[in-house]
């Protein structure tokens, strides 16, 4: 079974803090993704990566950066957290094919005070 | 940003009844259409990936159809059970290499005993 794990289920941070959200997958997938989910807006793509050290902006990259130093790990970084980044963050991974199923982690609910 | 629409937004169905809902997406530059089921407190779980016009997929009591020329997909649930209660998401991807999915906002299905 594919397993995608995220470092925390719940996280509370203060405005201005630097926040790291970690995602690890165990299926040797090339592609990894970060989404956020907000009520009434659905899942929106923040960043994705199709290889180590490669990254591409998604639909809403502002205020975020990412890091992929190892194939199995994809980190989402909030350089200076703001209250409008309070959200549910989901990581996903997939094989190289464009139509490959994406497998999701359990999500991290981040609250920025 | 591509537009993926799902309707209805929410649906209450009596246990044992059958139901269906719709996903509409851009018909140009189509590559694949995904359906996911997202139960509360769990990760989104892949149901189907469809790539060809006229595709029909089935998994137990759940099935899906695809019309790429007119840009829509239907998800059907036959004989609804309480465990079918979830949010059903569709997601679209166009061709061109690794890419994130563009999700609809989902249909929230509640099965009433």
pLDDT over 80 (residue B14): yes
- Look at chain A and count its residues: 113
Secondary structure class of B82 (helix, strand, coil): helix
Closest Cβ–Cβ partner in A4, A42, A106 for B103? A42
Q: What residue of B is the nearest CA neighbor of A59?
A: B1
Interface probe, candidates A99, A100, A106, A109, chain B, greatest B C-beta count within 10 A: A99
The percentage of residues in chain A with a pLDDT greater than 90, rounded to a whole number, is 86
Strands (DSSP E) contained in A26-86 are 31-38, 42-49, 56-57, 65-70, 73-78
SS3 state of residue B75? strand
* A39 close to B (CB below 8 A): no
Q: Give me the mean pLDDT over the B25-53 stretch.
A: 91
Closest CA to A33 of A7, A59, A62: A59
CA dihedral A106, A111, B2, B6 (to 10 degrees): 70
| Dist CA B45 CA A21 (whole Å) | 21
Q: Looking at residue B33, what is its pLDDT?
A: 94
- Cβ of A106 within 8 Å of Cβ of B43? The answer is yes
Confidence of residue B17 (pLDDT cuts 50, 70, 90): very high
Give the tens place of pLDDT for each residue, B52-95.
999 999 999 999 999 999 999 999 999 999 999 999 999 988 86
Question: Can you give the pLDDT at residue A100?
Answer: 87
User: Residue-wise over B3-14: b if at least 16 C-beta within 10 A, else e?
Assistant: ebebeeeebebe
Residue A102 three-state SS? coil
* Segment B27-33 mean pLDDT: 87
For residue A79, give the 3-state DSSP assignment: coil
- pLDDT value, residue B99: 65
CB A9 within 8 A of CB A15: no
A:B CB pairs within 8 Å: 65
pLDDT in tens, A26-50: 999 999 999 999 988 889 999 999 9
- B1 — pLDDT class (breaks 50, 70, 90): low
Q: Are A55 and A41 in contact (CB under 8 A)?
A: no
Judged against a pLDDT cut of 80, whether residue A2 lies above it is answered with no
Question: Which has the closest alpha carbon to A48: A38, A35, A36?
Answer: A35
Nearest partner of B70 among B37, B107, B103, B22, judged by Cα: B22
What is the predicted pLDDT for the residue at B93? Answer: 86
* Other residues' Cβ atoms within 10 Å of the Cβ of residue B111: 20
Task: State the average pLDDT for chain A.
Answer: 94
């Amino acid at each position: 079974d594919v397993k995608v794990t995220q470092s925390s289920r719940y996280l509370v941070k203060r405005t201005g803090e630097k926040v790291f959200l970690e995602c690890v997958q165990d299926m040797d997938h090339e592609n990894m993704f970060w989404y956020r989910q907000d009520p009434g807006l659905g899942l929106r793509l923040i960043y994705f990566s199709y290889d180590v050290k490669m990254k591409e902006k998604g639909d809403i990259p502002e205020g975020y950066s990412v890091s992929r130093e190892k194939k199995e790990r994809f980190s989402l970084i909030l350089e200076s957290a703001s209250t409008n980044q309070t959200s549910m963050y989901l990581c996903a991974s997939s094989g190289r094919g464009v139509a490959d199923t994406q497998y999701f982690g359990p999500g991290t609910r981040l609250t920025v005070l | 940003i591509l537009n993926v629409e799902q309707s209805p937004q929410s649906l209450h169905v009596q246990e044992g009844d059958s139901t269906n809902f719709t996903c509409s997406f851009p018909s140009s530059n189509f590559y694949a259409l995904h359906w996911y089921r997202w139960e509360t407190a769990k990760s989104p779980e892949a149901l189907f990936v469809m790539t060809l016009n006229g595709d029909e997929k089935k998994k137990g009591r759940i099935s899906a159809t695809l019309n790429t020329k007119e840009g829509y997909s239907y998800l059907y649930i036959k004989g609804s059970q309480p465990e079918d209660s979830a949010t059903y998401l569709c997601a679209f991807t166009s061709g061109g290499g690794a890419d994130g999915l563009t999700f609809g906002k989902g249909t929230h299905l509640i099965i009433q005993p």
